[in-house]
A and B are shown apart, each in its own frame.
Chain A
Amino acid sequence: MNSACETVRAQFLEMRRIGLSAEYEQHLASCGDCADACRRIESVARILGRLDKAEAPVDLWEGIEARLDASELAERRDSFTMSLRSLPRVEAPADLWDRVQAGIQEREESVWRLRPGSVRLERSLRLLRAAAILVPLVLGSYLIWSPSKTSSPKRTIVWSDTAIVRTGDPADPLEKIAFSLGEGSWVAER
């Protein structure tokens, strides 16, 4: 095999698509080894080119949706768990239950909509961070109790950047809310 053969074989892969030049044709006609090598290359291309295009199964989309849902749930659960470890813990105000009850504008199963401004915290409670907890309520957002099937701890309520440790005491205002809405974990949505 000389340099011309090397060039012909190296370039045959590309040339076969656009057509061989007269020079190539001439070389192939006179060089049996190159003709054989190029024929093998051509054979591989033809064989692979004859394979059918496999079509995606009809339930591919459903599978993706299910995995996306599972992945989002897992991410949510992970961030929830991480939040629990890092968030400052505060106690719920004693009159939170009454305030929430008084502020309820609409009640629909596990969703309570509160009147804007109906629940406020006094700064004197030194719960400035905890104020973030109730901002959604103040703005009239939804208070949602989401029954949890995940491993989310049930003894802690998380809102924004603050965690409120549940006491388990039936007289505790948050326990009253929890009891009314059903077991699960808190999720705040604006």
Chain B
Amino acid sequence: MKTDPDLSIVRACQAGSKEEFQRAYEELFQRYKNKVFNVAFRITGSEADAADVAQEAFIVLYKKIQDFRFNSKFSSWLYRIVVNLSIDRRRKNSSKLVMASETIDTLQSIDSPELVDRREAAPETAFGHKEFESYVQSCINQLSPKFSAILILRYIEDLSYKEIGDILGCSIGTVKSRLSRAHKAVEAVLGPNLEKYRA
């Protein structure tokens, strides 16, 4: 197993003085703040929730880093914290989402010209990258939190199956089969836009 690139800084957190701990902890924060926030944002689908989850994740890190034993890479351990917190947040928000989707269904039942089916449009071409981002994120939000997480770790964070398995606490075989199911789910959500946006 390769040496963990965060080994020395994590050790400094675990064995150092209070000042060393503070310095090392801040360095870990700087290294991982964007990754942590990005994963939280993509899974929760909300910047406010992501900021909240990211804060919680770093607080867990602050309190639990003494217990980390390098049974996996430090980054995998941190990702695991973030993914679990984000999935929890998604589940907590699910009742609100149900209410929101019921509202949307009601609105869509009204034949309003403003409420076109966006799947028929080509957002990146028609509205630009920001709208493309927003559309794809809305598709991710429609997946189960576990499917969202595995797709994000694989294609946005570009992690290996082994790392994903460490993060999700499952075997490489399970990662492969879950990823395959996540693909089918997102393909279904993207529908005809799948081909339009692949360019």
Contact = CB atoms under 8 A, between A and B. Distances in A.
Partners in one complex: yes
A73 to B, nearest CB: 13
Contacts of A71: 59
A147 B29 CA distance: 33
Interface stretch (B36-44, B72-80, B92-100): B36-44
A43 B154 CA distance: 14
Contact of B156 (A51, A63, A67): A51
A48 B155 contact: yes
B176 A45 contact: no
A43 B42 contact: no
Given A13-B180, A47-B194, A53-B34, A64 B51 contact: no
Most buried by B among A13, A43, A47, A49: A47
A108 interface: no
Interface residues of A, number: 28
B38 A53 contact: yes
Nearest to A63: B55
A40 interface: yes
Interface string B125-166: 000010011001100000000000001101110100100000
Interface stretch (B1-9, B12-20, B114-122, B182-190): B182-190
A29 interface: no
A61 B194 CA distance: 38
Interface residues of B, number: 41
Most buried by A among B42, B59, B183: B183
B55 A49 contact: no
B151 to A, nearest CB: 6
Contacts of B187: 40, 43-44
B62 interface: yes
B34 A43 contact: no
B195 interface: yes
Contacts of B58: 64
B41 A43 contact: no
A53 B59 contact: no
B69 interface: no
Interface of B: 26, 29, 33-34, 36-38, 41-42, 47, 50-51, 54-56, 58-59, 62, 129, 132-133, 136-137, 151-152, 154-156, 158, 161, 176, 179-180, 183, 186-187, 190, 194-195, 197-198
30 contacts: A10-B180, A13-B176, A40-B187, A40-B194, A41-B183, A43-B187, A43-B194, A44-B155, A44-B190, A47-B198, A48-B155, A48-B186, A49-B155, A49-B156, A51-B42, A52-B133, A53-B34, A53-B38, A54-B41, A55-B37, A60-B37, A60-B51, A60-B54, A60-B55, A61-B26, A64-B29, A64-B59, A64-B62, A67-B56, A67-B59
